[in-house]
Amino acid sequence: MSIGIKVYHTKDFIRKTAQGKIDLERSLEAVCELAVAANYFKGHSILMDLRDTEVDGDRSDALRVAAEFATHFKSFHNKIALIIPDTAERMAKAEFMRTCMHLQGFQWEFFMAYEDAIDWLSDITEL
């Protein structure tokens, strides 16, 4: 048996959970809603849970969503973690979105597992 002890200090975070088909219009609205929440709860990270969603959009839509985030850049001070379904298609889309978001200066990462997202959002100290 091997054993490790770690202390997790996880920042407060805003979790946005979506279900069903994601379309561009609703995604843009969701970014605005998130910006309002992030602006109000300054210092909080963001967790976007999209595991129960389907995406129709193409790269052009992804660019539009990234551009919408950029218009609210000042509201997002902390990390943004995205949880997506574990499929090659969604990973490819998330990788493109990550590139767009990194180019605009966001701390953005995507994960397939909730646990990995929490690890990324936490300060972890090994004892």
Partner 1 sequence: MSCSLTLYKPSEFIRKTATGKLDLAQSLEAVHELAEAASYHQDSHILIDVRETESTATHLEQMRLALEFGHYRHVFHNKIAMLIPATSERIEKANLMKRCMEAEGFEMKVFVSFEHAIEWFSEVVPLDPSH
| x-marked contacts with partner 1 along 47-86 as a string, rule CB under 8 A | x-----x---------------------------------
Least gap, CB of 125 to partner 1 (angstroms) = 9
Is 43 a binding residue for partner 1 by CB under 8 A? The answer is: no
How far CA 58 is from CA of 3, 64, 107, in Å, comes to 45, 10, 23
Part in contact with partner 1 (CB under 8 A); list of ranges 2-10, 67-75, 90-98, 102-110: 2-10
Give me the amino acid identity at 54.
E
DSSP-derived 3-state class of residue 79? coil
Is 16 a binding residue for partner 1 by CB under 8 A? The answer is: yes
Query: How many Å apart are CA 63 and CA 37, to the nearest integer?
Result: 22
Per the CB < 8 A criterion, the answer to whether 127 and 9 are in contact is no
Number of residues that bind partner 1 (CB under 8 A): 35
Least gap, CB of 98 to partner 1 (angstroms) = 21
Of 44 and 101, nearer to partner 1 (C-beta) is 44
Q: Which residues fall within 8 angstroms of residue 75, CB to CB, at 6 or more apart?
A: 35, 36, 38, 39
Task: Determine how β-strand 108-111 pairs with β-strand 80-83.
Answer: parallel
Q: Which residues bind partner 1 (CB under 8 A)?
A: 1-10, 12-23, 26, 30, 33-34, 37, 41, 44, 47, 53, 114-115, 118, 127
